[in-house]
Structure 1
Amino acid sequence: MLRVAVVGSGPSGVYTAQSLVEQTAVPDVRVHVLDRLPCPYGLVRYGVAPDHEKIKSLQNNLRTVLEHERIGFVGNVEAGARGLTPERLLELYHAVVYCVGAARDRRLGVPGEDLPGSFSATEFVSWYSAHPDAAARGFVLGARSAVVIGVGNVAVDVARVLARGPGELDPTDVPEAALGVLAASRVREVHMVGRRGPSQAKFTTKELRELGAMPRARVEVDPADLALDPAYADPAGLPAVGRRNVEVVRGWADATGRAMGRDPGERVIRMRFFLRPVEVLEEGGRAAGVRFERTVPDGSGGVRGTGAYEDVEAQLVLRAVGYRGVPLEGLPFDASRGTVPHASGRVLRDGVPSAGEYVAGWIKRGPTGVIGTNRPCAKETAGSLLADAPALARRTVADDPLATLRAWGHRPVEWPGWLSIEEAETALGRTLGRGSVKIPDWSGLLTAAGQE
């Protein structure tokens, strides 16, 4: 028997576990999927926007894997915390695969970034997704105008949620307190701003089109911004996604030019390009807007500043400019890349593969790709691990890892505990006249799991 721990229960972790148990070269592989939260699915549960039911339904596929007879979910166990170092994990398992993602947002590095009213999009997403670490944060959406800095899918999600009208999120699993704040929001203008042009934006076309399909909001685009993009006039040479994105944005620009005004109750998303943030403006000790420098293409795929500036008023500033991996105590870390050094998924210590230690997902390759990108990444790592299996299996490990974890003071939440959380969330939604509603705090989750 080969015992493997996979640290992280998001798509990369689940796909790694699936790759390990479905192969036939090593027939008796047993996998524990560890997570510091008592709930599985990672960013599919806590990062996918609540109104993206199709993507959230991926949980059903992940559930099927986690219910495999040779896979066990072990929640409420955090690697690197309370003494559970990589060295100690190797006392329990023949091999450990770290699929811990990229947990930290990238910063803008501009003055005023930490003013009250200025947040990372990660914080905002965690709040409306009911991540228990965000329970104490709370948001008060008294702002009239918001700026979302970034032109990727996270920025699109955040802008869409901010522009939703009252009642539109009722059918989702948004926690009740956040739903109330979003319903009472005073935000009427959302500026989504990128430093480059639409042909270089990172959003997918499906996500982009959803902005234009909202019943109580419309998208406005300044044609002057688009004219700066060399590919705007003729996008034929772009990859398919970039070409479709430019076509969608061009349609909004044409409609903006024809618009004669808007309904007073309508919310508007203003999509801006070729603007680089240089300062979050302050008034009364809070964020009051963002100063941008106008940029132009530099001829090499980047942009350069022009020395012309524009201030955009906003009482809420959200940065959505990407993620970075964070070091895990006891593992090597490449700070410049935000990843763990590896060779085909094998962790490298001083350039040499470390026996029994592997990585997959964003901590392996950086925060790139879509959910499906994790499949080939996980398969490569699983292949490396299985090739090493004869040597790994000779190591002596604990007979019962869960019993040892409990003896060390940990309180694992296993699959039945997670099912109890699901039942509690369904019951909560029923009392509120809604579908399943997420429990947003640690105490509530652990109580539902039978731990408190």
Structure 2
Amino acid sequence: MLRIAVVGSGPSGVYTAQSLVTQSEVPGLRIDVLDRLPCPYGLVRYGVAPDHEKIKSLQNNLRTVLEDERINFLGHVEIGPGGVSPERLLRLYHAVVYCVGASADRRLGIPGEDLPGSCSATDFVSWYSAHPDAGAGGFSLEWLTARSAVVIGAGNVAVDVARILSRGADELRPTDVPHAALGALAASRVREVHMVARRGPSQAKFTTKELRELGSLPGAEAVVDAGELALDPACSDPSGLPAAVRRNVEVLRGWAAPDREPRALERTLRLRFFLRPVEILERDGRVGGVRFEHTAPDGSGGVRGTGTYEEIEAQLVLRAVGYLGVPLAGLPFDPATGTVPHAAGRVLRDGVPSPGEYVAGWIKRGPTGVIGTNRPCAKETVTSLLQDADALARRPVEGEPVDAMRESGLRPVRWRGWLDIEAAEAELGRSLGRGPVKIADWDGLLTAALGAREG
């Protein structure tokens, strides 16, 4: 029997487990998918915006994998200090595949970044996605008293948070957004949202589908400055651009057209380009605005500073400039790339493959690609693991892993515990006259999952 632990139950972890059961011919294969949270699905549950039901429905595909009889979900299992160390995992399993993602966010590195009213888009997303750690800091409800918000970034995360800020609460009521967040968004005073990029439209990383949504919000008008589009040489004739980029440019040109009829809606969403943040300004002890330097194309795909500046008034600033991997105690880590050193998924210690240790997903390749990118990434790692299977299976392992976890003071949540959480969220929604509503705190999740019994 080959006993394997997959650490992380997001797409990369689930695709790794799926690849193991489809590629392996090892009899008696057992795969335990471990997660720090009592809930599976990772960023599909806690990163996809609540109004993106089609993407969130990917949970149904992930569920099918996790219900395979060869796969066991074990939530509420901390790896590292206070939980199970990587060294102990290797005594409990023949192989361990780390699929822990990139949980930190990149900073701007400018003055004023830590003022009240300034935080990462990751913290904002965690709040409206009901992540149980969201209450530990990061985003504060009182910041929604802002009249004007600046979102720094030009990827899909920036589009998501700009869209949520620009939506009315009634539009989010049918979703699973937690009830407290729904109430806070209903009371939000934000009336102007600026989504700002340091480069031009042809370098933006958002997808056309996400972009088009901004132009069809019932209560917000999307506005683009035609002069900023004109600064991007590719915008004057987008015919030579890749299809996805060309579609983005065409959408933006339509919003900047001089004959476009304004809709005079409650909120305004301004998409700005060629602005580089240089300072977050303080007023009355909190964010009061952002100072930007105007940039211009440098002829090599980048931008250069022009020495001219502009200030945008804002009381809320959300940075959406990328994720960053963080070290996991007991594993090697490359701080320059935010990844674990590896060779085709095999963890390298001092340049040598570490028997039984593997990585997949963002901790392996960095925070790049879309959800589907995790499939070939997982397949490569699993191919390496199965090539090593004969040697791995000869290594003795200790007794039942769940017993060892409980002896360490952990209370693992099994699959039936997760089903109890789902049932509790459905009941919570019914009591509020809504569909299923996420439970947003650790106590509520663990009470639903474990109750008076152990998982």
Q: Same fold (TM over 0.5)?
A: yes
- Are the equivalent residues in 2 in contact too, given 1:277–1:292 (CA < 8 A)? yes
Q: Shift of residue 184 of structure 1?
A: 1.1
Q: 1:205-354 alignment to 2 at 5 Å?
A: 205-254=208-257, 257-258=258-259, 262-263=263-264, 265-354=265-354
**Which SS does the other structure have where 1:287 is aligned?**
strand
Tell which deviates more after alignment, 205-214 or 25-34: 25-34
| CA distance, structure 2, for counterparts of residue 27 and residue 15 of structure 1 | 20
- Are the equivalent residues in 1 in contact too, given 2:83–2:410 (CA < 8 A)? no
Identity of aligned residues (%): 76
Structure 1's 83 and 59: CA in aligned 2 closer, same or farther, altered over 3 A? closer
**Which SS does the other structure have where 2:268 is aligned?**
strand
The one-letter code sitting in structure 2 at the alignment partner of 1:144 is R
Q: Shift of residue 123 of structure 1?
A: 0.3
Give yes or no for the alignment of 1:424 onto 2:418: no
The equivalent of 2:141 in structure 1 is 139
- Are the equivalent residues in 1 in contact too, given 2:346–2:381 (CA < 8 A)? yes
**Which SS does the other structure have where 1:312 is aligned?**
strand
- Provide the aligned C-alpha RMSD in A: 1.1
- Are the equivalent residues in 2 in contact too, given 1:7–1:96 (CA < 8 A)? yes
| CA distance, structure 2, for counterparts of residue 204 and residue 46 of structure 1 | 20
| CA distance, structure 2, for counterparts of residue 85 and residue 326 of structure 1 | 16
**Which SS does the other structure have where 1:9 is aligned?**
coil
The one-letter code sitting in structure 2 at the alignment partner of 1:297 is P
Q: What count of residue pairs does the alignment treat as equivalent?
A: 449
Q: Shift of residue 136 of structure 1?
A: 4.3
Q: Shift of residue 143 of structure 1?
A: 0.6
The equivalent of 2:43 in structure 1 is 43
Q: Shift of residue 46 of structure 1?
A: 0.2
The one-letter code sitting in structure 2 at the alignment partner of 1:81 is P
| CA distance, structure 1, for counterparts of residue 28 and residue 367 of structure 2 | 32
Q: Shift of residue 216 of structure 1?
A: 1.1
The equivalent of 1:124 in structure 2 is 124
Q: 1:89-100 alignment to 2 at 5 Å?
A: 89-100=89-100
**Which SS does the other structure have where 2:289 is aligned?**
strand
Q: Shift of residue 350 of structure 1?
A: 0.6
The equivalent of 1:149 in structure 2 is 152
The equivalent of 1:60 in structure 2 is 60
Q: Shift of residue 24 of structure 1?
A: 4.0
Give yes or no for the alignment of 1:441 onto 2:435: no
The equivalent of 2:198 in structure 1 is 195
| CA distance, structure 2, for counterparts of residue 450 and residue 368 of structure 1 | 36
Q: Shift of residue 236 of structure 1?
A: 2.1
- Are the equivalent residues in 1 in contact too, given 2:194–2:272 (CA < 8 A)? yes
- Are the equivalent residues in 2 in contact too, given 1:159–1:192 (CA < 8 A)? yes
| Structure 1 residue corresponding to 2:172, chosen from 165, 169, 172 | 169
- Are the equivalent residues in 2 in contact too, given 1:121–1:320 (CA < 8 A)? yes
Structure 1's 72 and 196: CA in aligned 2 closer, same or farther, altered over 3 A? same
The equivalent of 1:86 in structure 2 is 86
Q: Shift of residue 306 of structure 1?
A: 0.5
1:20-51 Cα distance to aligned partner (Å, 9 max, x none):
01124324321100000000000000000000
Q: Shift of residue 352 of structure 1?
A: 0.5
| CA distance, structure 1, for counterparts of residue 141 and residue 161 of structure 2 | 13
| CA distance, structure 1, for counterparts of residue 261 and residue 14 of structure 2 | 51
The equivalent of 1:396 in structure 2 is 396
1:48-105 Cα distance to aligned partner (Å, 9 max, x none):
0000000000000000000000000000001113152111100110000000000000
1:269-313 Cα distance to aligned partner (Å, 9 max, x none):
100000000000100000011000000011111111001000000
1:315-349 Cα distance to aligned partner (Å, 9 max, x none):
00000000000000010001000000000000001
Give unmatched runs, 5+ long, in structure 2: none
Q: Shift of residue 266 of structure 1?
A: 1.9
| CA distance, structure 1, for counterparts of residue 169 and residue 46 of structure 2 | 22
| CA distance, structure 1, for counterparts of residue 326 and residue 121 of structure 2 | 17
Structure 1's 59 and 293: CA in aligned 2 closer, same or farther, altered over 3 A? same
**Which SS does the other structure have where 2:409 is aligned?**
coil
| CA distance, structure 2, for counterparts of residue 303 and residue 50 of structure 1 | 34
The equivalent of 1:73 in structure 2 is 73
| Structure 2 residue corresponding to 1:182, chosen from 172, 181, 185 | 185
- Are the equivalent residues in 2 in contact too, given 1:21–1:30 (CA < 8 A)? no
| CA distance, structure 1, for counterparts of residue 224 and residue 83 of structure 2 | 52
The one-letter code sitting in structure 2 at the alignment partner of 1:196 is R
The equivalent of 2:110 in structure 1 is 110
**Which SS does the other structure have where 2:189 is aligned?**
coil
**Which SS does the other structure have where 1:167 is aligned?**
helix
Q: Shift of residue 421 of structure 1?
A: 0.4
Tell which deviates more after alignment, 151-160 or 137-146: 137-146
Q: Shift of residue 165 of structure 1?
A: 1.4
